[in-house]
Amino acid sequence: MKIELERMVRKAAYTVGRLFVDGRYFCDTLEDTDRDANRNGVFDSGERKVYARTAIPNGTYRVTLERSPKFSPRYGGRRVPRLHGVPHFEGILIHTGNTADDSAGCILVGRNSAPGRLTGSLAAFNGLLPLLEQAAARSEEITITVH
């Protein structure tokens, strides 16, 4: 399964994007500030990560479903999508939330209903998770490309 996150709106306090699953639009996303100004996937030329206030760098990352002490209980004990190999970041998940304050570097899913806000986050997550679970059950590699 190939997931693509196309960042559309980069603001000082948040980043809005669109999430595609196997080439089809699925939902909107919300992340922290994209500090990779030259969009080359590394923090260079004066760019720097600000803890819990920075979106992950552009790139392609492997995704697995894993238990999260914080989020799995919210989703009935289900595993959540975790990104691997993200430079300078650990524990990056795809999960629910409404503003960049809910992100801490993670990718939030939902509908971009107002500047810097998502609605319908749980519905979007509950639609995405079964697709990922089915791909994992087929032993299909899951990747996300962020740009």
| pLDDT tens column, 102-147 | 999 999 999 999 999 999 999 999 999 999 999 999 999 999 999 9
Q: What digits encode the pLDDT tens for the residues 122-133?
A: 999 999 999 999
29/5 Cα distance (integer angstroms): 8
Q: What is the mean pLDDT of residues 43-68?
A: 93
Ordered DSSP codes for the chain:
-EEEEEEEEE-SS-EEEEEEETTEEEEEEEESB---TT-SSS--TT----TTSBPPPSEEEEEEEE--TTTGGGGTT--EEEEE--TT--S-BEE--SSGGGTTTPEEEEEEEETTEEESHHHHHHHHHHHHHHHHHTT---EEEE-
C-alpha dist (Å) from residue 70 to 41, 51, 73, 76, 108: 28, 18, 7, 12, 15
110 near 124, Cβ under 8 Å?
Answer: yes
**Average predicted confidence (pLDDT) for the chain:** 95
The number of beta carbons lying within 10 Å of the beta carbon of residue 68 is 18
